[in-house]
Amino acid sequence: MIFYFSCTGNTRWAARMVADITGDRLVDMAELMRTDAKDYRCILEKDEAIGFCFPVHGWRPPMLVRDFIRRLEVKYVTEPYCWALCTAGDDIGQTMEILNRDLGRIGLKTDSTFSLIMPESYVGLPFMDVDNEAKERKKKEKAATYVRLFGNTIAHREKDINDTYKGHWPKTNSWFLGSLFKGLLISDKKFRVDEEKCTQCGLCSKVCPVGNVASGKGKTTEWLHNGRCLTCFACYHHCPMKAIEFGNRTKKKGQYFFEKKRQQQ
């Protein structure tokens, strides 16, 4: 079984690629979390593996993923092979160490971990933007090669494989900068919509993984300020009219989601 969480499609693509190789079931964590259940029970079949796929947010697993794991109860006949794959624009710091702390509380520990560099989607800081078309294409081509290798490693239940890029200061990035990122940058307060551009199509509401955007025909698009926003920018990137801005930080910046180029062709 593969639990995955994806905002702009990078991780969903990677999870599906692995599932095609391993034959594992795919479960969307965000869909389960929207049911507001107090806990989630997972019953694994004999010799079934369990995997977790997610993007890196501020050198950490996203809060939705951490909350999901806290509510997860896993039942199994034989101790499962456990693995994790994260997607990021660059280094991941101690993301996997943090993940294993959370998994340890429910009796799991990763046997192997992987990180996959994918096209950039974080645009919440002045110096950060999406990749240009050439860089995006190169990252996708390289990622396709790596994810097939990772999928075969998982299919063969190989252990003690930690194919991740932590960067030069993993502890500082995940614990110090990660704390600042969570405290100062994860917020929906800067999001706004240009009502002259907005067609009230409701797509921003549909793609929000935490149900924090209200939009649709006859509705003024608004963020609910429900404390769930991940600042994943799914709403910004998917808006076909580019009517959504994040303060002044997204001015003249691009948009990205995994299927965007194919949808335009």
CATH number at residue 246: 3.30.70.20
Q: What are phi and psi of 152, to 5 degrees?
A: -70, -35
State the pLDDT confidence band at 261, using cuts at 50, 70 and 90.
low
Q: What pLDDT does 26 receive?
A: 98
Same domain, 233 and 147: no
Q: How does pLDDT run across 132-145, given as a tens digit for each residue?
A: 999 999 999 999 99
CATH number at residue 54: 3.40.50.360
Q: In the listed set 157, 182, 207, which residue is the last one of a domain according to the structure?
A: 182
Structural domain containing residue 198: 187-256
Residue 156 within a domain: yes
Same domain, 177 and 209: no
Structural domains in the chain (count): 2
Q: What pLDDT does 218 receive?
A: 86
Residue 197 identity: K
Q: Is the pLDDT assigned to residue 163 strictly greater than 60?
A: yes
Q: Are the C-beta atoms of 56 and 92 separated by less than 8 Å?
A: yes
Average pLDDT rounded to a whole number, residues 53-64: 97
Average pLDDT rounded to a whole number, residues 189-194: 96
Q: How does pLDDT run across 225-254, given as a tens digit for each residue?
A: 999 999 999 999 999 999 999 999 999 999
pTM score of the predicted model: 0.94
Q: Is the pLDDT assigned to residue 51 strictly greater than 60?
A: yes
Same domain, 53 and 158: yes
Same domain, 150 and 212: no
Residue 121 within a domain: yes
In whole angstroms, give the CA distance from residue 114 to residue 72.
Answer: 22
Same domain, 105 and 221: no
Residue 221 within a domain: yes
Instruction: List, in sequence order, every beta strand (DSSP E) within the chain.
Output: 2-4, 26-28, 40-43, 50-55, 72-75, 82-88, 112-117, 161-163, 191-193, 213-216, 219-223, 244-246
Same domain, 163 and 203: no
Percent of the chain exceeding pLDDT 90 equals 92
State the pLDDT confidence band at 265, using cuts at 50, 70 and 90.
very low
Same domain, 31 and 159: yes
Average pLDDT rounded to a whole number, residues 114-141: 96
Q: In the listed set 125, 154, 182, which residue is the last one of a domain according to the structure?
A: 182
Q: In the listed set 143, 163, 182, which residue is the last one of a domain according to the structure?
A: 182
Q: Is the pLDDT assigned to residue 220 strictly greater than 90?
A: no
